[in-house]
Amino acid sequence: MTDFRTLDDAGPLKGKRVLLRVDLNVPMEGGRVTDATRIERVVPTIREIADQGGRVILLAHFGRPKGKADPKDSLKPLLPTLSEKLGRPVAFGEDCVGEAASKAVAALKDGDVLLLENTRYHAGEEKNEAEFTKALAANGDVYVNEAFSAAHRAHASTEGLARLLPAYAGRLMQAELDALTKGLESPARPVIAIVGGAKVSTKIDLLENLVAKVDMLVIGGGMANTFLHAQGKDVGKSLCEKDLAETAQRILVAAKEKNCTIILPVDALVAREFKANAENETVTVDAVPSDAMILDVGASSIATIDGAIDEARTLVWNGPLGAFELTPFDTGTVAVAQHAAARTKAGQLVSVAGGGDTVAALNHAGVGEDFSYVSTAGGAFLEWLEGKELPGVEALRAQG
């Protein structure tokens, strides 16, 4: 049962300008998409609207350009993949508001698809500014939110637009919420969570609530370095947000109070260069050379994590355990992903993973199909798991 309106409630969309908010924040390398999962998952909705004769106007962000039109965060390089996956041409508007956008929208015929440039090129997006939201809304008759993975952001294109235009949830938004509710509303215990990745400052706070929901929490990736630093260890030149040491300490205390076992790496693969096949060595986390970076968990840590997974009946995972895009720093992520997949296939574990890079990492490990459920969302998925209201979903409910 959904308590918001979906595409089924939108009425005939023929001739309507449909602002479709999608999450195209996909992993890229050298200007090419390296994992197209997020694109593939929104294709059915784009087709469904276009096939009815709706004029599809895709709104999306890429990276974190912080209100500046930084070319490295352009959505343009995604066009070939988007068009290939969709099996039809996609036009491009050089801006998401103003003349460039309105001209591109005016040129659309029924059933056409248009991608507008990065919404985060404008500061009004993240500030959810009324003027900017109005400028976005000027190009649409209807708003459809398909970006579950950005629903934890109260931005103009994820939240504000739902208040200005008739608003509906897209098929993926609906499916993600249904699947997570079904899979995790009353999970089999013990529950283990793995949180890694690089978005330390935007994800660390949610760990405080998460430790009350799960029995074991594995902290890996860049997130682990901040915790190791908080424990007084020298993490050398590793990705580490030192100003969050107090937050990390608070989380460790909260975990103890809630009887949540925290599992931090005991050893690490370190290197002096952030590149594939950089010279590397395994060291204990007490002996990280001051000129080196932790780029993956070590073999003893992998064994500990695998052992903890063996005790669990439910796994939730966001954020790779290391810089998995660069061999051999994919070793920990691949080993743990394969172990969890084998337990899942044997019927011993319910495994739910999510996040743009996490999905790419599972695919890289060859187990993307073997988890119980793979969400496009990382941060949004964890916030949902915490029990938090997601602004993008709440704004749809307000109209429901």
Ligand X SMILES: Nc1ncnc2c1ncn2[C@@H]1O[C@H](COP(=O)(O)OP(=O)(O)O)[C@@H](O)[C@H]1O
Q: Which does 54 bind (CB under 5 to 8 A by kind): ligand X15, ligand X, none?
A: none
Query: Residue 355: phi, psi to the nearest 5?
Result: 125, 145
Indicate whether 25 belongs to the interface with ligand X15 (CB under 6 A): yes
CB burial class (10 A; 0-12, 13-18, 19+) of residue 69? middle
Report residue 290 as tokens.
């001051």
- The stretch near ligand X15 (CB under 6 A) out of 187-195, 255-263, 305-313, 372-380 is 372-380
Indicate whether 378 belongs to the interface with ligand X15 (CB under 6 A): yes
Q: Which does 236 bind (CB under 5 to 8 A by kind): ligand X, ligand X15, none?
A: none
Among 21, 41, 199, 339, binds ligand X15 (CB under 6 A): 199
Give yes or no for a contact between 97 and 156, defined as CB atoms under 8 angstroms apart.
no
Q: Which does 149 bind (CB under 5 to 8 A by kind): ligand X, ligand X15, none?
A: ligand X15
Q: Please tell me which residue in 356, 368, 378, 392 is annotated as part of the active site.
A: 356
- The stretch near ligand X15 (CB under 6 A) out of 106-114, 147-155, 212-220, 341-349 is 147-155
Q: Are strands 191-195 and 32-33 parallel, antiparallel or unpaired?
A: unpaired
Indicate whether 202 belongs to the interface with ligand X15 (CB under 6 A): yes
- How far apart (Å, rounded) are the C-alpha atoms in residues 244 and 246? 5
Q: Which of 207, 229, 227 is nearest to 217 (CA)?
A: 207
Alpha-carbon distance values, 93 to 98, 139, 301, 315 (Å): 10, 12, 47, 41
180 annotated among ligand-binding-site residues: no
- How far apart (Å, rounded) are the C-alpha atoms in residues 289 and 300? 19
Residue with tokens 């405080």: 208
Among 32, 64, 68, 388, binds ligand X15 (CB under 6 A): 64
Q: Give Rg (Cα) of the chain.
A: 21
Tell me how crowded residue 163 is: count the other CB atoms within 10 A of its CB.
15
250 annotated among ligand-binding-site residues: no
- How far apart (Å, rounded) are the C-alpha atoms in residues 376 and 149? 6
Indicate whether 149 belongs to the interface with ligand X15 (CB under 6 A): yes
Indicate whether 125 belongs to the interface with ligand X15 (CB under 6 A): no
Q: Which of 35, 18, 302, 2 is nearest to 136 (CA)?
A: 18
Indicate whether 21 belongs to the interface with ligand X15 (CB under 6 A): no
Q: Minimum distance between the CB of residue 49 and ligand X, rounded to whole angstroms?
A: 27
For ligand X, the closer of residues 221 and 391 by Cβ is 221
25 annotated among ligand-binding-site residues: yes
For ligand X15, the closer of residues 70 and 141 by Cβ is 70
Q: Which does 128 bind (CB under 5 to 8 A by kind): ligand X15, ligand X, none?
A: none
Q: Minimum distance between the CB of residue 64 and ligand X15, rounded to whole angstroms?
A: 5
Indicate whether 23 belongs to the interface with ligand X15 (CB under 6 A): yes
Applying CB under 6 A, which residues contact ligand X?
A: 196-199, 221-222, 239, 294-295, 318-320, 322-325, 355-358, 378
Indicate whether 211 belongs to the interface with ligand X15 (CB under 6 A): no
Q: Which does 64 bind (CB under 5 to 8 A by kind): ligand X15, ligand X, none?
A: ligand X15
Is 379 annotated as catalytic? yes
Alpha-carbon distance values, 363 to 63, 334, 349, 353, 368 (Å): 21, 9, 19, 12, 5
Residue nearest to ligand X15 according to CB distances in the complex: 378
Give yes or no for a contact between 327 and 280, defined as CB atoms under 8 angstroms apart.
no
Is 199 annotated as catalytic? yes
Indicate whether 355 belongs to the interface with ligand X15 (CB under 6 A): yes
Report residue 106 as tokens.
């005016």
Is 17 annotated as catalytic? no
Is 5 annotated as catalytic? no
CB crowding 194-228: b at 16 or more within 10 Å, else e: bbbbebbeebbebbbbbbebbbbbbbbbbbbbbbb
Q: Please tell me which residue in 140, 199, 222, 392 is annotated as part of the active site.
A: 199
Containing H/E element for 343? helix 331-345
- The stretch near ligand X15 (CB under 6 A) out of 5-13, 67-75, 217-225, 375-383 is 375-383
Q: Please tell me which residue in 16, 17, 21, 38 is annotated as part of the active site.
A: 38
The catalytic residue positions are 38, 199, 356, 379
Annotated binding site for substrate: 23-25, 38, 61-64, 120, 153
**Which residues lie near ligand X15 (CB under 6 A)?**
23, 25, 64, 149-150, 153, 199, 202, 355-356, 377-379
